[in-house]
Amino acid sequence: MNISDVAARAGLPAKTIRYYEDIGLIKPLRDTNGYRAFRESDAHKLTFLGRARALGFTIENCRALLALWEDKSRASADVRAIAADHLNEIEVKIADLTAMRDTLTNLVHTCAGNSRPDCPILTSLGGTEGNG
Amino acid sequence: MNISDVAARAGLPAKTIRYYEDIGLIKPLRDTNGYRAFRESDAHKLTFLGRARALGFTIENCRALLALWEDKSRASADVRAIAADHLNEIEVKIADLTAMRDTLTNLVHTCAGNSRPDCPILTSLGGTEGNG
DNA sequence: GCTTGACCTTCCAGTGCCGGGAACCCCCAT
DNA sequence: ATGGGGGTTCCCGGCACTGGAAGGTCAAGC
């Protein structure tokens, strides 16, 4: 399999796959012409990586998960720990974004959005006093 | 005012303030010794920037908002448009993260998290078949 | 006057995760 | 021979900083 075939199968850009090889996530063989020669196992790994990335795991977490995936004697607790940590981080991000959203929603609703300069958004950003 | 004073007032690291000067968000004066000499107006701008960044606005949006803030003849509609766009992006991010969270929550709950290798998290990432 | 230490300066490199594009090679069809 | 569509490497850019090195400046203490 050439890179574009495996890219289509894994749903990843070829650039990303080259990058993943660069950082050692996959190690495809090489044809005599220098082209990468992907095995089925490489395609499976890339699919795995694509799904893990889509769930927001960092590359380093993906590396760890991939290693556990390949380790038949893994403990599922190790996998779950990584996922649970990541879940926590996501929840923190959601909380941060939700706070931003609430503030912004208020501001956007209180701003007339017309041709006059009075704007509670700028007033809020500008500090307790007016602006300077 | 030296950089550490204004940093304390705006709640931003000195590094960040130098960076903001680099990219033209602020233009502090210079003392004869080469130190940056911040005016009150610089401190106000930095406070503004800190708050806008805390709401997740990109630097370029901050630049635009700052320009509007300084423009006494602005239309509040322009401010609101920027804020509303940003709000949309935040809502998209929240939706993405929420989907990730829901998937992860399910996976984490269905994984026993013990010393045995069976793991629905890996099964889910690994594709329809087992792994290879 | 000299040292100490906190503060300031500039510049360079790195972060995470690729995307864009140059410059070049390889292979197949015409 | 030529054209087009693969592939390859390499380097830069982008977001918004952050860390660190190497060195100038200032106020205080001895």
Residues of B in contact with A69 (CB under 8 A): 122, 125-126, 131
Question: Measured from the CB, is B19 under 7 Å from any atom of strand D?
Answer: yes
Which residues, 6+ apart, have CB-to-CB distance to A85 below 8 Å?
none
- The Cα–Cα gap between B9 and B1 comes to 10
Which residue among B98, B113, B117 sits closest to A73, beta carbon to beta carbon?
A: B117
Indicate whether A131 pLDDT > 60.
Answer: no
Q: Is the CB of A14 under 7 A from strand D?
A: yes
- Main-chain dihedrals φ then ψ at residue A43, nearest 5 degrees: -60, -40
pLDDT in tens, B3-57: 999 999 999 999 999 999 999 999 999 999 999 999 999 999 999 999 999 999 9
- What span, in angstroms and rounded, lies between the C-alpha atoms of B1 and B5? 6
Answer positive or negative: Cα dihedral of A5, A8, A10, A16.
positive
User: What letter would DSSP give residue B116?
Assistant: S
Over residues A7-54, the pLDDT tens digits come to 999 999 999 999 999 999 999 999 999 999 999 999 999 999 999 999
pTM: 0.91
Residues of B in contact with A67 (CB under 8 A): none
- Strand D bases near protein CB (under 7 Å) are 6-9, 15-19, 25-26
What whole-number distance in Å separates Cα of residue A7 and Cα of residue A18?
10
Determine whether the interchain pair A56/B111 forms a contact, defined as Cβ–Cβ distance below 8 Å: no
* pLDDT tens track for A66-101: 999 999 999 999 999 999 999 999 999 999 999 999
Q: How far does the CA of A3 sit from the C1' of C21, in Å?
A: 19
* Rg for chain A, CA atoms, rounded: 24
Residue by residue, DSSP assigns A19-64 as HHHHTTS---EE-TTS-EE--HHHHHHHHHHHHHHHTT--HHHHHH
Query: Which bases of strand C have any atom within 7 Å of the beta carbon of a protein residue?
Result: 7-10, 16-20, 26-27
Helix (H) or strand (E) segment spanning residue A96: helix A76-110
**Confidence at residue B128, expressed as pLDDT on a 0 to 100 scale:** 64
Q: Mean pLDDT across chain B, nearest whole number?
A: 94
CA–C1' gap, A36 and D14, in angstroms = 28
Question: How confident is residue B119, by pLDDT bands cut at 50, 70 and 90?
Answer: very high
